[in-house]
Amino acid sequence: DAGITQSPRHKVTETGTPVTLRCHQTENHRYMYWYRQDPGHGLRLIHYSYGVKDTDKGEVSDGYSVSRSKTEDFLLTLESATSSQTSVYFCAIGSAGSSGANVLTFGAGSRLTVL
């Protein structure tokens, strides 16, 4: 997707292991977001960033941490993965639409399975 890459795209891990998902953008946008989506459900905001080293919690931040040491990368870490964190994780970047308000562009998603 236009200027946004998520890695890994698929990962299987075991309960209790740490996992880091990476979101990389080439658009130099200030705003970046991590969402999770469970089967048959909508997207839930985990964390977001409004600049380098500036991050804040979303709706479901427990068990997740993030870091943004440079504009282009936004990392999502599960310190100790649990089965309830099995999900598809989407990263998004925010940019101004033609109206001037924020428009999100999403990555392809990272499918995480915690056994």
Residues at the contact surface with another protein, assessed by CB under 8 A: 1, 31, 33, 35, 41-45, 48, 50, 56, 58-59, 88, 90, 92, 94, 96-109
Task: Give the residue with the Cβ less far from another protein, 8 or 97.
Answer: 97
Q: Which two tokens stand for residue 48?
A: 């977001």
Rounded to the nearest whole angstrom, what is the least distance from the CB of residue 83 to another protein in the complex?
Answer: 21
CB of 86 to another protein, least distance (A): 15
CB of 62 to another protein, least distance (A): 16
Q: Residue 60 or residue 75: which is nearer to another protein going by CB?
A: 60
Structure-derived torsion over alpha carbons of residues 50, 8, 109, 32, reported in degrees to the nearest 10? 10
Which residue, among 18, 33, 37, 11, has the nearest Cα to 78 in the 3D structure? Answer: 18
Which residue, 19 or 92, has its beta carbon nearer to another protein?
92
CA 25 to chain centre: 12
The rounded radius of gyration (Å) of the Cα atoms in the chain is 14
